[in-house]
Structure 1
C-alpha cells in the first residue's frame, strides 16, 4: 500500500518522487484510538510523522523503532498517551527533530537517547519523566534545542552536558534536579538561553559562567544557589534577561554589570545580598527597563555622595522594586519624571522626609507602593496628577492631615487604596465613596472621627463578585507582584494580577454613630472590619445579604440589640468577631455559624446567650415559673399576717383579765407591741429570703 498512487492523493499523506510515502501529517485530525495495531514496518521510507493534537491513548509502541528513515517525529499534545518512552527510540539514527511535549508518559529518559547523534531538537516538555538525566545525552553533539522542563527529573545535571557545544537553548525548569551547575557548562559557547529555575540546585556558580558571546537569557530563579553572584555573567555582552530571585546569593561584586549593555530585566528578589545600592546599579546603562531587588539587605540611599540622584538617567525604567531592604534617606524628585515607570515599590525600608513631587506625574505610573517607611506630611497634592494609578499604598508611615475629597475624582482608576497606620484625622469625606473601581479600601489605625458615609451606590466594583483579571504588562515579575493585607486576621498576599478580593477595613479609629445600611448592598465584599471604634446602634438587619463575606469583625464598639437572624445566611463566613459590645438575646444558628465554636468571638456581651455560650432559658417556662412564684408569695403573706393577727388578739384578750392594775396593763401592752414588731420583722426577713431564692 505504501507504493499506491491513490494513497498519495490523500489529504494527510505526502509521497516522494518514487511514490513512497514520505510524510504522514495527522496533526489536529481528531484521532481517537491507540497506536498498538499500526504496522510501522510498512513505512520504511517515511521521513516525517506528525500525530499532534489528537486524543490518542495507550502507549507508544516499541515498533516505532522500525521507522528507520524517520527524520521528524512529533506526537505532542496527546495527554492520554501513557507508559514510557520505548528504548527502541534509539534505532532512529537519522532523527533530527523529536517532539513529545504534553503527553502523559512516565518512566525515565532511556539511555539509548544518546544513539540519536543526528538530533538537533529534543523537546520533552511536560511529559512527567522521572529518574535522572542519562550521561549519554552528552553524545548529542549536534543538538541545538534541549527542552526537558516541567517533568519530575531528579539527580544532577551530568557533566557530559559540556560536550554539546552546538547547544543554543537549554531548558530544565520545574524539575527536582539537585547538585550544582557543572563547570563544563562554560564550554557551551553557542548558548543563548539557560533555564534551570524551579529546581533544587545549589552551591556556587562557576566563575566561567557566561562565556558564550550569544547568551541573552539566564533563568536560575527558585533554587538554592549561594555565595557571590558570578561577575562573568555579562562577559559576552549580549545578556538581556536575568532572573535570579529566590536563591541565597550573598553579594554582587562591584561593576558586575559593567558589560551588560543590553540588559533589560534583572530580578534578585528574595536573596541575602548585602551591598550598597550603588554597587548594584551604578554601572547600569540608561536602557535597563526592569529592576527588582526586593527582600535583600541593600543599604544606602538613592543619591550619591555628591547629592546627585541615582537611577534618574534610566529613562526607560518601567519597573523598580527595592522593597524590604535597609535603604534610607529622601526620595529624589526625578522619579516622577521617568516617562516609562509603571511600578515603583519602595515599601518596607527606612525612607523618610516629605515625598517630593514635580509638576507632572507620568501617565504610565500605575502602581505606587511606599508603605512601611517614615514618610511624613499630608496626602500630597502631587498625586492628583497621577491619573492612571490603580494601586496606591501609603500605609505604615507618618502621614497626617485629612483625606482629600478630590482623591476619587483625580484618581478614577484606583482599585486598591491603603492609608492604614498613619495619623490621618478628621472625617471620612463623602466623596471617597465615588471610587467606582475600588476593590480594597483600608483606612485602619488612624485618627478618623465622625460617621461612616452611607451612600455606597458608586462602589460598583464591590457590589458584585470579582473575577480574576489579568494585567497588560510584559514584565514577568510584574504579574507576580503581591501586596500583603490583613485578611481573616492573618497576612494575605493580594495579587496585582488576580484582584479577586474585595474588602473594607476601617478598624482602629474613632468613628461613631450607627453602621450604615448601605454597606449591605456591597454584595462582592469578602472581608469587613469595623472593630475598635465607637459605633453604636444595631447591626444592620440585612447583614446576611453579604453572601460572599468570609471575615466580619465588629468587635470593640458600642453596638446593642440582638444579632440579626440573617447572619446565619453567611455561608462563607470563616472569621467572625462580635466581642466587647452590648449585644443581647439569642445567638442565631446556622450551618456555618455552628462551625465557629470559639466563645471568645461573642465575649463581653453580657446579654448574649446560645451556642457557643451558655444556653438561653426557655421564655414560656420562665414565665410560668414567675407566675407561680408570685402566687406563692401572696399566699405566704396572707398566712403570715393571719397568724400574727391571731397571736396579737389572743394576748390582748387575756391581758385585760390578767392585769387589772393600770401600770401592769400598760407594761403588758408595751410588751405585746414589741413582740408584734419582732414577729413582723422576722416575717419580712423570711419573705425576703424566699423571694431571693425564688428569683435564682
Structure 2
C-alpha cells in the first residue's frame, strides 16, 4: 500500500509540473484558465523580441505569472490566442520597438494580428504563413524591412493585408493575385520595385493601394471588383484606357505622378468616383466626358499634355485642376458659373486659352472660391490670387500664341 501511495504521488507531481506551463490562477477567485502550451511559449518569445518605446507601458502588464489571456492586446477563445493587437491603440500613444519573433507563426488559431505605429525593425517573419486562420494582418507605420513574404499570399482566409509605411523592398509577390479571399491589399509608402502582375477577373480585390513605391512597367489587367485603386508616385508607363474601362465600380482612382500616356477614356467620368487623380503624367488628347454633368468632387488632370477645348461638362465638379496642359479656345461660361453654384476651385493657369466671357453672374467670385487664369494667351479679366507655383507672369509670350499674332 505504501508503494502504491508513493507511485500516485509521483504521478501527481508529474501532472502538476506539466500543467504549470499552461495553468495560471487568476486573481484571488481561484478560477483556473488553461492556455495551449504552444501559444504560451509563443507569447513569451514574442514578448522577448519587443520593448516599449519611452512613454509606453503596454508590455509591462505581460507578466507570465498571470493568465496571458488577460494581457493587453491578447484575445483568446478556448485555449488559443485568436487575436493579437501589439501596442497601445490610443491615438498618438508611443509604440513598440524591437523585432517580430517567428514564434508568431506558432499561434495556430490566430485570426487577427496588428501592430501599432512604432519603431519595430527587421523582416516580416515568413513563419506567419503557419497562421492558417489569419484573416487580418496590419503592420503599418513601423520600420520593417526586407521583402514581403510571398508565403502570405498562400493564406487562404486572409482578407486584409496592410504593410504600408515601412521600408519593405523587393518585388510585388505574384502569389497575392491568386489569394482567394484577399479584398484589401495596402502596401503603399514602401520601396517595392519591378512590375505589378496581372490579376484574374475572378479576384475579390476591393482595395489596391501601392502608391509611393518604385514600381515600373504597365498597369496590368485588374479585377472589375475594385472600388479603390491608388498607384500614384511610381514609375508606371504605357496606356491605361483598356484597363480602366473594366473598372466601372471604382469610387477612388489615383494614378498621379507616373509616366502614363495616351487618352483619358471619357467613360471614367461616369464612374461613381469621390476623387479622380491623374495629374503629373503624359496623358494627351481631348477630354470628352460622355455625360452632360460630371459630379465628381475632385478632378485633377493637371501637368499633362491634354489639348482641345476646356470641357464644359465639368462645371459641377467641386475642385477642378486643369492647369499646365495645352487647352485652347474660350473658357466656357458654364464653367465660370459653376463657381457660383458650388464649385470651390477652378485652376486653368498655364494653358493656351484665348478668351473668357464675364457676365453679371461671374463678375464677382463667391467668398472662398478660387480661380486662376494666369499665363494663358489673354490678359486675365479677373484679378484673383493664384498659387505661388503658378509663377508671376500673367500672360504667355506673344510668340507662343498664334491667334494673337494673326
TM-score range, shorter chain: 0.7 to 0.9
Aligned 8 A contact 1:336 1:357 in 2? no
Please tell me the root mean square deviation across aligned C-alpha atoms, in Å.
Answer: 3.3
Deviations 1:393-431 (A, max 9, x none): 3xxxxxxxxxxxxxxxxxxxxxxxxxxxxxxxxxxxxxx
**Per-residue deviation, 1:110:** 1.1
What is the aligned counterpart of 1:373 among 373, 376, 383? Answer: 376
Structure 2 Cα separation of the partners of residues 322 and 256 of structure 1: 18
Aligned 8 A contact 2:99 2:120 in 1? yes
Listed as ranges, the matches of 1:84-233 within 5 Å are 84-183=99-198, 185-186=199-200, 189-206=203-220, 208-212=221-225, 215-233=226-244
**Per-residue deviation, 1:300:** 0.5
Structure 2 match to 1:2: 24
Deviations 1:214-252 (A, max 9, x none): x22111110011100153335353211111110000113
Structure 2 match to 1:74: 85
Structure 1 match to 2:312: 311
Partner SS, residue 211 of structure 1: coil
Deviations 1:326-372 (A, max 9, x none): 11101111123221210100000000124433425563752111110
Aligned 8 A contact 2:133 2:157 in 1? yes
Structure 1 Cα separation of the partners of residues 223 and 86 of structure 2: 34
Aligned 8 A contact 1:48 1:72 in 2? no
Partner SS, residue 122 of structure 2: coil
The higher relative CO (CA closer than 8 Å, separation ≥ 6) is in 2
Partner SS, residue 131 of structure 1: strand
What is the aligned counterpart of 1:483 among 386, 389, 393? Answer: 389
Listed as ranges, the matches of 1:437-456 within 5 Å are none
Structure 2 match to 1:346: 348
Aligned 8 A contact 1:221 1:246 in 2? yes
Structure 2 match to 1:275: 285
Aligned 8 A contact 2:62 2:72 in 1? no
Structure 1 Cα separation of the partners of residues 328 and 391 of structure 2: 24
Unaligned runs of 5+ in 1: 9-17, 23-29, 52-66, 303-309, 384-390, 394-480, 492-696
Deviations 1:611-658 (A, max 9, x none): xxxxxxxxxxxxxxxxxxxxxxxxxxxxxxxxxxxxxxxxxxxxxxxx
Partner SS, residue 80 of structure 2: coil
Structure 1 match to 2:64: 39
**Per-residue deviation, 1:115:** 1.0
Aligned 8 A contact 1:351 1:374 in 2? yes
Alignment TM-score, normalising by the size of structure 1: 0.45
Aligned 8 A contact 1:115 1:139 in 2? no
Larger Rg: 1
Aligned 8 A contact 1:340 1:365 in 2? no
Listed as ranges, the matches of 1:575-586 within 5 Å are none
Alignment TM-score, normalising by the size of structure 2: 0.75
Structure 2 Cα separation of the partners of residues 170 and 364 of structure 1: 41
Unaligned runs of 5+ in 2: 1-22, 36-54, 394-406
**Per-residue deviation, 1:291:** 1.3
Partner SS, residue 100 of structure 2: coil
Which structure's residues are more often strand, by fraction? 2
Q: CA separation of 1:483/1:284 partners in 2, compared to 1, >3 Å: closer, same or farther? A: farther
**Per-residue deviation, 1:205:** 1.3
Structure 2 Cα separation of the partners of residues 151 and 357 of structure 1: 53
Structure 1 Cα separation of the partners of residues 71 and 58 of structure 2: 20
Partner SS, residue 128 of structure 2: helix
Structure 2 Cα separation of the partners of residues 164 and 47 of structure 1: 34
Structure 2 Cα separation of the partners of residues 97 and 47 of structure 1: 17
Partner SS, residue 73 of structure 1: strand
Q: CA separation of 1:364/1:249 partners in 2, compared to 1, >3 Å: closer, same or farther? A: farther
Structure 1 Cα separation of the partners of residues 58 and 361 of structure 2: 68
